[in-house]
Amino acid sequence: MKLLLVEDDSMVGGLLKTALSEAGYSVELCADAEGGELAMKLHSFEAVILDIGLPDKSGLDLLKSLRRAQSEVPVLILSARFTPPDRVLGLDLGADDYMVKPFDLDELLARLRSIIRRRQGRVENALRVGGLEFDPIKLRVTVDGNEVALQPKELKLLTVLLNQKGKPASKTQIEEQIYEEGEDFESNTVEALIYSLRRKLGRDLITTRRGVGYVIAE
Amino acid sequence: MISLGAILRTRSLTFKLMIGTLSVLSVYVSVIGILAYISAKDSIAQAHDEALIVNANGLVFIIEEEARAGGFDRPLDFAVSVETLKGEDRAIFTATSQYRMLRVWYNSQLVLNSNPDTPASVPPFSEGFSDQLIDSEVWRLYSLHVPAKGLIVELGEQVTARQHLVTKIARALIFPFLISLPLVAFLFWRAIHSAMSDLHKVKRQVNKRTPEQMEPLETAYLPRDLLPLVKAINALLKRLDQSLFRERQITELAAHELRTPLTAIKLQAQMGLKATSEEGRVQALKGLLEGVERSSYLVEQILTLTRVEQTEFDLYDVDAYDAAERVRSELKPLSERRGQTISLALNEPLIVRANDDLLILTLRNLIGNAVKYAPERSNIIIKGERRGGGVDLDVIDQGPGIPEPVREKIFERFFRYHSGKVLGSGLGLTIARQCAELMNASLSLHTPEGGKGLCVRLSFPAA
């Protein structure tokens, strides 16, 4: 799952990116609003974590133009502005959640899962298809109750397909979601990942649609 | 020991005014009383002396008639004439007769004497007025000698009697004043109190002022002599309000700005706790340290700015070369680590009207910025030039520069353009500009010749 993180402070940004990656997300980090806008034009994101105090313009302006363009991407504002009017403004401009710095990492991750879950119309975190269950908190996959060890990239690909809820995902779509900007993925191509997933989870789980992509049927 | 003066000085204004007015009034009344007393005494003496002369002359005529009629074979019966007086007049005469005396000599014979203490053995008194001591009483005597008729008429009055009259008049004057003194004091107190009510009004207004409510005191309908005080208080309130506002502003901004490094610290700590490897924990601890360093730097800069804003600095002639050289050697370890050279291109000495601390602080921030933001192994030049009557100090680096649109914004508190790339507080240029303004100098950003990097110019005006 790909996240956009717009944060001007490189230290906070870098740390948060690491923390989010460890939680199983692919993260694109932008240090200003302009970079954030550009990234959103180029890619689609599962969620956006947005700082308000950016050097070029306010994160709230970015949010406004995002919502005016009818974008439905869940947005979590992460700001040092802590007064109730600040939060009300952020939420009313279309943010799905608002967290004040300094924040608790676990809480941020939980809120992130919550806004993504809500946007996907789900009520629980776990994703299930047949005997397969994926727990996005512990990043654990079980088949008929038996845990299966997956590599981070395999997990990401599985999440992408599960989030599609029965609709096929194209190879480019998958690449965009699981690889980070500038990442070298030649040794870990989508085909290779699909192959190893089928080997670990069973041949029938992922179906290939010629010319369309891959799908996990519900 | 507290002196009386000190006690009086700390008394209330009402008390002082009461004491002042009442003592002036008392002195005034006393002087008037004394003058009235003297004047009454003189007037009574004169009137009574006149009466003695008139009466003595009158008596000469009466006694002459008496002598012509029958001589003085029998002593004159003075009592007969008393009996001719009626009612009230007689009472007055009898009550005061003891204070008066009459002696008449006819042909050296004492023919009439009302005072047993002055028998014939007491010879006639000298002519005209005299004061005589008779039986331990002082008498005012008038002796009228008429040698042609062989008559000496002597009239006298006890001085005590006159004294009684004078005392009576004085008492009549002073008594009402003494009786009315409490009333007068009360009226004074009322008047002073009502005048003081304006002062109380001011006091009540001042009492209502709090750090949140610093609006000026009402000056309408205020007595003219209170106006300067109230205006001074208003000026003070304004200064206090401004300084409080600045302080509150910087506190709010600081609290806001400290959240970012604190966020990094917290995040780092949480990641350290989650880290499964020794390496991860060490990395988290290093990050923690960096976060703490950032916070301390920020706090330090905030304190510096507050200090600059709240201290009064004297201006005097300072050698800019000297200041630049000092900052260069101070920053040398840092610039050498980055392989940078800092060169001074200014004449020695270059005198500017400044303050040592402010100039050093300004240059430290400007050259420090150049060292931090300019690339490694680049040159930083400090140029000093006389321009017009003034002096321009330029700090030129080969760093990324600041684009035109943000060149004014960059001086705002906590505004950072190249944020995150290097350790910074967003206050360095704010501090530098504040220092410059305190030295009557200005700070501006320019693009150096060649179009690359940044030139920060500190311009001192012509003296």
Complex ipTM? 0.74
From chain B, the residues in CB contact with A19 under 8 A are 267, 270-271
Regarding whether B393 and B301 lie in a shared domain, the answer is no
At B81, the pLDDT band (50, 70, 90 cuts) reads: low
Which residues are B130's β-sheet partners? B141
Q: What is the pLDDT of residue B77?
A: 54
From chain B, the residues in CB contact with A58 under 8 A are none
Regarding whether B266 and B145 lie in a shared domain, the answer is no
A139 in reach of chain B (CB within 8 A): no
At B424, the pLDDT band (50, 70, 90 cuts) reads: confident
Cross-chain residue pair A102–B256, CB shorter than 8 Å? no
At A113, the pLDDT band (50, 70, 90 cuts) reads: very high
Give the Cα separation of B163 and B446 in Å (integer): 104
Cross-chain residue pair A31–B262, CB shorter than 8 Å? no
Q: Which domain holds residue B360?
A: 313-460
Q: What is the pLDDT of residue B421?
A: 65
Inform me whether the pLDDT recorded for B8 exceeds 80.
Answer: no
Strands A132-135 and A127-129: antiparallel
Q: What is the mean pLDDT of residues B2-26?
A: 81
Q: Is B27 exposed, middle or buried (0-12, 13-18, 19+ CB in 10 A)?
A: exposed
Inform me whether the pLDDT recorded for B109 exceeds 80.
Answer: yes
Regarding whether B304 and B318 lie in a shared domain, the answer is no
Inform me whether the pLDDT recorded for A99 exceeds 80.
Answer: yes
Q: How many domains does chain B contain in total?
A: 3
Percentage of residues in chain B having pLDDT higher than 90: 27
A103 in reach of chain B (CB within 8 A): yes
* Rounded alpha-carbon distances, angstroms, from residue A143 to A129, A134, B122: 10, 9, 161
Regarding whether B149 and B17 lie in a shared domain, the answer is yes
Give the Cα separation of B176 and B193 in Å (integer): 25
Boundaries of CATH 3.40.50.2300 in chain A? 2-119
CATH 3.40.50.1370 is held by the domain A2-119? no
Inform me whether the pLDDT recorded for B125 exceeds 60.
Answer: yes
Cross-chain residue pair B264–A11, CB shorter than 8 Å? yes
Strands B442-446 and B351-354: unpaired
Regarding whether B153 and B66 lie in a shared domain, the answer is yes
Q: Between A12, A31, A106, which is nearest B264 by CB?
A: A12
> Are the C-beta atoms of B431 and B361 separated by less than 8 Å?
yes
CATH 2.120.10.80 is held by the domain A127-216? no
Beta strands (DSSP E) in B205-359 are: 316-319, 341-345, 351-354
| Weakest mean pLDDT among B116-120, B184-188, B381-385, B397-401 | B116-120
From chain A, the residues in CB contact with B267 under 8 A are 12, 15-16, 19, 102, 105
Range among A3-12, A167-176, B56-65, B407-416 with highest mean pLDDT value? A3-12
Q: What is the pLDDT of residue B360?
A: 93
**Residue A63 corresponds to which amino acid?**
L
Regarding whether B259 and B219 lie in a shared domain, the answer is yes
CATH number of the domain that residue B110 is part of: 3.30.450.20
Regarding whether B45 and B85 lie in a shared domain, the answer is yes
At B71, the pLDDT band (50, 70, 90 cuts) reads: low
Regarding whether B12 and B66 lie in a shared domain, the answer is yes
Q: What is the pLDDT of residue B105?
A: 87
> Are the C-beta atoms of B422 and B364 separated by less than 8 Å?
no
Distant-in-sequence, close-in-space partners of A170: CB < 8 Å, separation ≥ 6: A212, A213
| Weakest mean pLDDT among A37-51, B238-252, B282-296, B449-463 | B238-252
